[in-house]
């Protein structure tokens, strides 16, 4: 496996931070669903590992704030080996679609919408999509965010389809 440069690390960081939410619009969301999301409002910090050809430490900050229309907005930043990624978005429950939704935008042209499912007081958001990096290489991105027990856990995996090389990261967040 080859060593990945700053551009590919930015893609991995984008997916990692991005999975924590953005731009879903609820219509009369259920009160319990909205309250569960609002219980995560606050400042979060996380530290984890990005694993590719080598392991590198990832340090992240995530701020969740009350938004409009029962949304929870977020703004996040991760740093890795001199690269910084920022993302913004919101988390919401969509009555129309009967699901939680987390969408995002980032400073490295990565956008996405993750669908969430609730099990008790836990919400799990999953995202899987194909995309291209800045050089036009085809890649598959999968990610999972788990909101559980007053913690946020983010997992992210990128596969470069032409070579099979991959990057993965796990970052647990706490207040």
Q: Does this model's pTM top 0.85?
A: no
CA-nearest of 20, 128, 158 to 77 is: 20
In DSSP terms, 146 is beta-bridged to 124, 153
What is the tens place of the pLDDT at every residue in 11-51?
555 555 554 433 333 344 578 898 999 999 999 999 999 89
Place of tokens 């400042």: 43
SS3 helix, strand, coil % of the chain, rounded to 5? 10, 60, 30
Token digits of residue 54: 């080598």
Residue 126 CA to residue 116 CA, distance in Å, equals 6
Residue 30 CA to residue 36 CA, distance in Å, equals 10
Domain locations along the chain: 6-174
Q: Name the more confident of 100 and 109.
A: 100
Span between the terminal Cα atoms of the chain, in Å: 36
Q: What is the pLDDT of residue 28?
A: 46
Residue 100 in this model has a pLDDT that exceeds 80? yes
Q: Where are the beta strands (DSSP E) in the chain?
A: 42-51, 55-66, 72-80, 83-94, 99-106, 111-119, 122-132, 138-148, 151-160, 166-174
CATH fold label, 6-174: Lipocalin (2.40.128)
The one-character DSSP state at 110 is -
Mean pLDDT for the stretch of residues 58-80: 92
Residue 161 CA to residue 46 CA, distance in Å, equals 29
Q: What is the pLDDT of residue 10?
A: 58
Residue 30 CA to residue 84 CA, distance in Å, equals 36
């Amino acid at each position: 496996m080859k060593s990945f440069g700053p551009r590919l690390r930015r893609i991995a960081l984008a997916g990692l931070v991005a999975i924590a939410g953005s731009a879903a619009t609820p219509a009369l969301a259920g009160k319990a669903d909205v309250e569960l999301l609002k219980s995560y409002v606050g400042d979060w910090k996380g530290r984890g590992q990005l694993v590719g050809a080598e392991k590198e430490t990832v340090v992240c900050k995530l701020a969740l704030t009350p938004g409009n229309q029962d949304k929870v907005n977020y703004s996040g930043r991760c740093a890795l080996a001199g690269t910084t990624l920022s993302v913004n978005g919101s988390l919401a429950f969509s009555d129309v679609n009967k699901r939680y939704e987390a969408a995002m935008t980032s400073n490295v042209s990565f956008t996405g919408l993750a669908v969430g499912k609730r099990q008790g007081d836990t919400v799990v958001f999953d995202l899987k999509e194909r995309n291209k990096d800045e050089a036009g290489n085809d890649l598959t991105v999968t990610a999972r965010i788990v909101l559980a027990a007053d913690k946020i856990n983010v997992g992210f995996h990128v596969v470069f389809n032409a070579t099979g090389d991959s990057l993965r990261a796990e970052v647990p967040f706490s207040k």
